[in-house]
Chain A
Amino acid sequence: DVKVTQSSRYLVKRTGEKVFLECVQDMDHENMFWYRQDPGLGLRLIYFSYDVKMKEKGDIPEGYSVSREKKERFSLILESASTNQTSMYLCASTRGGAASNQPQHFGDGTRLSIL
């Protein structure tokens, strides 16, 4: 079974801090994704990566950056955390190839609170 592991289940940070969220997958998947999930808004794509060092903006990339130095690891970075970035963050991965026919495997999420 594919395992997607997010480094923290809960995280509390302060406004202005630089925040790193880490995600590791163990199935050699090419594609990795970061979403945030807010009540009433569902899952929204922040960034995705289809290969090492490659990244593409999703629907809400503002205030975030990502890093993918190794195939199994995809990091989400909040450059200067703000209270409106308080949310649940979900990482997912898929095999390579045509995106829409690859089921996504999700981690259990990081609930981030910015004070």
Chain B
Amino acid sequence: LAKTTQPISMDSYEGQEVNITCSHNNIATNDYITWYQQFPSQGPRFIIQGYKTKVTNEVASLFIPADRKSSTLSLPRVSLSDTAVYYCLVGDNSGTYKYIFGTGTRLKVLA
């Protein structure tokens, strides 16, 4: 099963771009990479998902290099409300339905 590694925490200032990198060295060929955001006392919320290269939506961008052993979530111009825990997730598409959550990255946005 693929396992992810992320920084435990990051600080940033309002208006800056934040990049959070996740390592998943054992990612399987069919696995997608998914990022979630979690606020206190809430369940995680889907942000973005990709398989390779670059994906962009209204919230974030996801960069995935050719070897797919890592990925980077990019949050443009963060605000205080982006303070949350961010999880990188790869699934196990080898016939089971397991997702592997890491411990997440606690992002704190400062004024």
Q: Which A positions have Cβ atoms within 8 angstroms of B?
A: 4, 31, 33, 35, 40-45, 48, 50, 56, 58-59, 90, 92, 98-101, 103-109, 111
CA distance A108 to B40 in the complex (A): 10
Which residue of chain A lies nearest to B102 when distances are taken between CB atoms in the complex?
A42
CA distance A111 to B36 in the complex (A): 20
Question: Within the complex, which residue of A41, A45, A50, A98 is in contact with B93, where a contact is CB–CB below 8 Å?
Answer: A98
Per the 8 Å Cβ criterion, residues 20-71 of B in contact with A are 30-32, 34, 36, 41-46, 49, 51
The smallest beta-carbon distance between A87 and chain B, in angstroms, is 14
Which residue of chain A lies nearest to B91 when distances are taken between CB atoms in the complex?
A100
Cβ of B30 and Cβ of A106 under 8 Å apart? no
CA distance A33 to B93 in the complex (A): 16
Cβ of A99 and Cβ of B46 under 8 Å apart? no
CA distance A89 to B43 in the complex (A): 9
Between A41, A45, A100, A106, the greatest number of chain B beta carbons within 10 A of the residue's beta carbon is seen for A100
Cβ of A108 and Cβ of B43 under 8 Å apart? yes
CA distance A99 to B30 in the complex (A): 10
Q: Which B positions have Cβ atoms within 8 angstroms of A?
A: 30-32, 34, 36, 41-46, 49, 51, 87, 90-93, 96-99, 101-104
A-B contact pairs, 29 of them (CB 8 A): A4-B43, A31-B97, A33-B99, A40-B103, A42-B87, A42-B101, A42-B103, A42-B104, A43-B87, A48-B97, A56-B97, A58-B98, A90-B43, A99-B92, A99-B96, A100-B30, A100-B92, A101-B32, A101-B49, A101-B51, A101-B91, A103-B46, A103-B49, A104-B34, A104-B44, A104-B46, A107-B43, A108-B41, A109-B41
Cβ of A109 and Cβ of B42 under 8 Å apart? yes
The smallest beta-carbon distance between A29 and chain B, in angstroms, is 12
CA distance A40 to B96 in the complex (A): 26
Cβ of B91 and Cβ of A44 under 8 Å apart? no
Cβ of A99 and Cβ of B98 under 8 Å apart? yes
Cβ of B91 and Cβ of A106 under 8 Å apart? no
Which residue of chain B lies nearest to A106 when distances are taken between CB atoms in the complex?
B43
